[in-house]
């Protein structure tokens, strides 16, 4: 497996938040854009659960997160409330 990296600008690096999977930044971007719904949900769930929130925006827009959030179910673990709070707040403020 490739070593983990915090350099999310390097397409060939393995993002630190996918510690249990050998997938590059470029591959993750492609799956989130063009992958099957199952794969997009699976990898978005891992990212939203494990990545720092500021790093999520390197891969998804707030609108994309808001759209996929209801589909993630239990995949977010303890981070579910954070993401719901953030997206609901942005909606209430008219930002989404």
Q: What angle do CA 13, 10, 61 make, to 5 degrees?
A: 105
Q: What is the mean pLDDT of residues 21-25?
A: 96
Domain range for 76: 4-92
pTM: 0.92
Half-sphere exposure of 38 (CA within 13 A, CB side): 0
Q: At what angle do helices 62-72 and 80-92 cross, to 10 degrees?
A: 130
In contact, 55 and 18? CB cutoff 8 Å:
no
Summarised one tens digit per residue, pLDDT across range 43-70 is 999 999 999 999 999 999 999 999 999 9
Counting the structural domains of the chain, the total is 1
pLDDT at 1: 85
């Amino acid at each position: 497996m490739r070593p983990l990296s915090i350099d999310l600008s390097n397409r060939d690096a393995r993002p630190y938040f996918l510690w249990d999977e050998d997938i590059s930044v470029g591959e993750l971007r492609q799956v989130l854009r063009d992958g099957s719904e199952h794969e997009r949900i699976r990898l978005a769930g891992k990212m939203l659960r494990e990545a720092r929130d500021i790093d999520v925006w390197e891969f998804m827009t707030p609108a994309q997160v808001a759209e996929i959030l209801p589909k993630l179910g239990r995949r977010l673990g303890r981070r579910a409330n954070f993401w719901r709070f953030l997206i609901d707040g942005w909606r209430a403020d008219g930002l989404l």
